Amino acid sequence: MKSNNPVRTDRRHFIRASTGMLAGLTLLPGPGAAETATPPESIHLIGPLEGYAPQVGTLVSMMRWMQDSLVRVVTGLTGPELDFLTDPKANTIGALLLHLAAVEVVYQDITFYGQKDFSAANQKRWGVAMNLGEAARKQFKGKDLAHYLAELEEVRAKTLAELKKRDDRWLAAVDPAFFNNQPTNNHCKWFHVVEHIGNHRGQISLIKKRLPGARE
């Protein structure tokens, strides 16, 4: 039965094309196997998503995958573990989670609202989390994991709502001077948000290994 939904059709073609390109590798299944073995809502299917322009949806699927990997790393951590400092100048896991939220907020302000940096209201709310350091060590403690995850979820919900309003032309739009004063499109700016999560997820994993009583 043919689908009349262009996003679902694009997603299916994207997945089939990706599977076909990799089918020559002996450790991978043949074409169509991934569709059969993995439910359509699987987080491991990178590609267009319903409700978004095709390239925007593909970006969102990557954002969703990276956010899920971050949540899995911190799941089960206690308040004292979230506040643990490996040394007096380090950052806590809790502070790093808020830092990731802050970075996403500043890119909302830059790409959605045409700001050069945080809006005044967001600077007041997120400035410490953005800069980390001693102010963050003093301010961000005594909270449980649910607090930090709620902050991340609130920020991500706004990002997704705004991305649903944008098309692929917006994603490809070029800022003439951004990273290293070079031309940078919105796709690259939001890819930076994704890779930034991966960067600090690795840092959080290292801190977890240093927690009192942690297994090697």
DSSP string, 114-136: --SS--HHHHHHHHHHHH-HHHH
Q: Do 37 and 78 belong to one domain?
A: no
- What is residue 41's predicted lDDT score, i.e. its pLDDT? 74
Tell me, yes or no, whether 18 lies in a domain. Answer: yes
Residues, the chain, total? Answer: 216
Residues 131 and 178 reside in one and the same domain: yes
The answer to whether residues 65 and 100 belong to one domain is: yes
- Provide the CATH number for the domain around residue 127: 1.20.120.450
The token pair that represents 193 in the structure block: 């948000």
Same domain, 21 and 67: no
Spatial distance between the Cα atoms of 18 and 31, rounded to a whole number of angstroms: 9
Residue 100 to residues 30, 134, 144, 146, Cα–Cα distance (Å): 38, 17, 17, 15
Q: Name residue 89's beta-bridge partners.
A: none
Residues 41 and 60 in one domain: no
CA pair distance 139, 142, nearest whole angstrom: 9
Q: Are residues 12 and 105 in the same domain?
A: no
For residue 192, being part of any structural domain is answered with yes
Domain assignment of residue 146, yes or no: yes
* Cβ neighbours for 108, distance < 8 A, ≥ 6 positions apart: 155, 158, 159, 162
Q: What is the pLDDT of residue 5?
A: 56
State how many domains the chain has: 2
Q: Report if residue 215 sits inside a domain.
A: no
Structural domain for 83, as ranges: 51-210
Regarding whether 143 and 110 lie in a shared domain, the answer is yes
12 and 110 inside one domain: no
State whether 98 and 157 are in the same domain: yes
Q: Are 145 and 77 in contact (CB under 8 A)?
A: yes
Instruction: State pTM to two decimals.
Output: 0.82
133 and 36, same structural domain? no
| Residue at 13 is within a domain | yes
Is 81 contained in some domain? yes
The set of residues, in sequence order, having a beta carbon less than 8 Å from that of 124 and lying 6+ positions away, is: none
Say yes or no: 194 and 89 in one domain.
yes
In a domain, 216, yes or no: no
pLDDT number for residue 10: 57
Identify whether 57 is part of a domain.
yes
From first to last of its 216 residues, what are the pLDDT tens digits of the chain? 444 555 555 555 554 544 443 333 333 334 444 444 445 578 999 999 999 999 999 999 999 999 999 999 999 999 999 999 999 999 999 999 999 999 999 999 999 999 999 999 999 999 999 999 999 999 999 999 999 999 999 999 999 999 999 999 999 999 999 999 999 999 999 999 999 999 999 999 999 999 998 765
Do 19 and 58 have their domain in common? no
pLDDT digits (tens, 9 = 90+) for 46-83: 999 999 999 999 999 999 999 999 999 999 999 999 99
